[in-house]
Amino acid sequence: MRKLALLIAAPLLLVTACSAAGTTTQGRSSEGGAPAPAAVDSVSGYSGNAASAPDKGIPTVVVSADRNLILTAKIDMRSKDPWATSDRAQAIASGLGGDVLNLSQSGTADTRSASLTIRVPSNRFGDALQALKSLDGEIQTSGVSAQDVTDQFVDLQARLTAKQAEEQRYIAILNRANTIDEILKVDASLGNVRTQIEQLTAQINSIKGRTEFSTISMSISTLSILPGDTTGKAWDPAKTVGRALAALGAMMQVFADAVIWLVVFGWLPLLAFAALVVAARMRRPAAPAAPTT
């Protein structure tokens, strides 16, 4: 009987051991396997800056399709030609179905700067950031933010539905009104409800516009050449001659100005000296006359 019991218990012990081993292996796989995307890589419910991408410094985001999000991004970068970089950023926005809200370009050839704000469809927001990473330049700072307005959007729609139902009730009452006084009262209430419907509709359309299109603000400055950088501009004798001539012209202008001032006001010291000489002679006592014999 004891041997029979051992024979029966052995398979059960083997099955239990295998199950325990499988559970342990699964737990280790869950801990050591590929981790789930970090919370900052998804903008669902996100209110701060996302993690920076290692290559260009612009965050990469994943848009949640079941939430109403207002996505914005801000990028500060340096480029050898900020104007050309801003033009390429405009082309990226246009290629993704967006547009440019504002653009400013200033500075000279060596100190150019540009700032612009582009708008792209929210479902192409990640594509726009990826394309901006390919621009020639150096990312200084960047950030992505998302404002979740899903609850606000749902609330506005519910209020709009209620007001539209109220409007239909007032229309039904107005059709049954018999006196002028009843008609005026119902018409005033109906006008008030319709005003609220228009306000709610405008708010909903505003939120739709901000969630369907995302904005990206960019500030681009000139990438300065580090000392000893041989990849910078080559020596140009013509420019050196031009700067020397400009300096000579400035010196000649200063000399000419000095001569003009001397000609215009140079006689004033001479006049003052002559006045002093005349005054000195007038104050000198006259010599006594010689005695007569």
Residue 113 burial (10 A CB sphere; 0-12, 13-18, 19+): middle
Query: What does the alpha-carbon distance between residue 130 and residue 286 come to, in Å, rounded to a whole number?
Result: 103
Q: What is the pLDDT of residue 254?
A: 86
Q: Could you report the per-residue pLDDT of 235-269, keeping only the tens digit for each?
A: 778 878 888 888 888 888 888 888 888 778 777 77
- When the pLDDT of each residue in the chain is averaged and rounded to a whole number, the result is 77
Q: How many residues does the chain have?
A: 293
Mean pLDDT of 162-189: 92
Q: Could you report the per-residue pLDDT of 203-227, keeping only the tens digit for each?
A: 999 999 999 999 999 999 998 755 5
pTM of the model: 0.53
Q: What is the pLDDT of residue 276?
A: 83
| pLDDT class of 168 with cuts at 50, 70, 90 | very high
Lowest mean pLDDT among 109-118, 130-139, 225-234: 225-234
Q: What is the pLDDT of residue 26?
A: 39
1 versus 169: the higher-pLDDT residue is 169
Each residue of 281-293: b (16+ CB within 10 Å) or e? Answer: eeeeeeeeeeeee
274 versus 113: the higher-pLDDT residue is 113
Residues 6+ apart with CB under 8 A from 68: 148, 149, 150, 153, 207, 211
Q: What is the pLDDT of residue 15?
A: 41
Q: Which domains does the chain have, with CATH numbers?
A: 40-148+212-222 (no CATH), 151-210 (1.20.58)
Q: Could you report the per-residue pLDDT of 29-43, keeping only the tens digit for each?
A: 333 333 333 333 333
39 versus 201: the higher-pLDDT residue is 201
Residues 6+ apart with CB under 8 A from 113: 82, 105, 106, 107, 219, 220, 221, 222
